[in-house]
Structure 1
Amino acid sequence: MTEDRRSLFVAGLKNAHAMENQALSIIKPQLSRIENYPQVAARLEQHLRETEAQIKRIEDILAGLNEDNSTLKDWMLSATGSMAALGHTMADDEILKNSFANFAFEHFEIAAYNALLVMAEMCGHQSSIAGLKENLSEEEAMARWLSNNLREVTSEFVVRREAGETAKV
């Protein structure tokens, strides 16, 4: 593997590690606030566990390259995720805002893993491909779930709002 390709791959892995930490900082506050959407809470809880496993897979790949994650990138993106999650708490349609943001973020992660797979192939780092594909598969499944359930979540939000019930979360 050439040094330039290796450097790009390692940088991408460090970015993915930080991205997954950002995902945790987005998911955890949402989970702590959801009361009226148990299907969303259950899927977010599942994805929280998947995200923790994804972080471990990335750490294993980095260790195989004798590299470590970037604490600064992890901290910066976690802070950004926390701020985004906090911003939605003030919205009357918090559940919808979270659904939209989660959908967009999942697609960002899908793009990142697709790029990392190309880099892994170009670097000849075959041992990382299975873990990256597993992460990609989990992100694609979450994106599909969000897409398939947006109609139900939106309908439930509207019905709750019309009934004067708590419609936020």
Structure 2
Amino acid sequence: MADAHHDNLIITGLKNAHAMEEQALSIMRPQVKRIENYPEVARRLELHITETEGQIARLDELLDRFGSDNSALKDMALSFTGSMAAMGHTMAGDEILKNSFANFAFEHFEIAAYKSLLVLAELGGHGQATAALQANLKEEESMARWLDDNLRGVTTRFAALKESGETAKV
């Protein structure tokens, strides 16, 4: 049964997830712009950017159903920290690897957040939120799997480019 306590919990979680997805965009967009030698990574990031935009739309819909909206302050703060993290990796000689590690970790953070939100939806009797949250979770799990499956190839390509004296630029 829905009550004010559970409503507040899920609304807070949805606002946090919204800010988290804005942060994800602020991390991925600069990364994809800098990629030169890893077209498969660029294509997958572009796809996930589109997915993330859809996730934000789903979260907006859910927040609207609860009579709430996203937290502009949280969105702005996390977007800023995401941009700073992405920019910090640009100075590294192994930027593509650092980005791969950070993206893998962030995807798992998002997976945990959506799993928690699904529990809150269940506890609060908010079954109407389940489909959207499951869709977001599925996309995050797919991206995490892709990163895991492709880390060896990215690392191998990076090492080969470095060994041949070519730029290993992302």
Please indicate the TM-score interval, normalised by the length of the shorter structure: over 0.9
Are residue 106 (structure 1) and residue 107 (structure 2) matched? yes
| 1:97 matched residue in structure 2 | 98
Distance 1:166 1:3 in 2: 56
Distance 1:63 1:151 in 2: 42
Are the counterparts in 1 of residues 117 and 133 from structure 2 also a CA contact under 8 Å?
yes
**Unmatched 5+ stretches in structure 2:** none
Distance 1:166 1:37 in 2: 12
CA RMSD of aligned residues (A): 0.4
TM-score between the two structures when normalised by the length of structure 1:
0.99
Are the counterparts in 2 of residues 94 and 168 from structure 1 also a CA contact under 8 Å?
yes
User: Identity across aligned pairs (percent)?
Assistant: 64
| 1:87 matched residue in structure 2 | 88
Are the counterparts in 1 of residues 28 and 49 from structure 2 also a CA contact under 8 Å?
yes
TM-score between the two structures when normalised by the length of structure 2:
0.99
Deviation, 1:39, is: 0.3
Deviation, 1:168, is: 2.6
The structure 1 segments of at least 4 consecutive aligned residues displaced by more than 2 Å after TM superposition are none
Matched residue pairs, number? 169
- The aligned runs of 1:6-155 (5 Å cut-off) are 6-155=7-156
Are the counterparts in 1 of residues 20 and 78 from structure 2 also a CA contact under 8 Å?
yes
CA-to-partner distance for each residue in 1:42-73, whole Å, 9 max, x for gaps? 00000000000000000000001111000000
Distance 2:148 2:117 in 1: 24
Q: Secondary structure at the match of 1:91?
A: coil
Q: Secondary structure at the match of 2:91?
A: coil
Distance 1:165 1:88 in 2: 19
Distance 1:166 1:44 in 2: 21
Are the counterparts in 1 of residues 23 and 81 from structure 2 also a CA contact under 8 Å?
yes
**Unmatched 5+ stretches in structure 1:** none
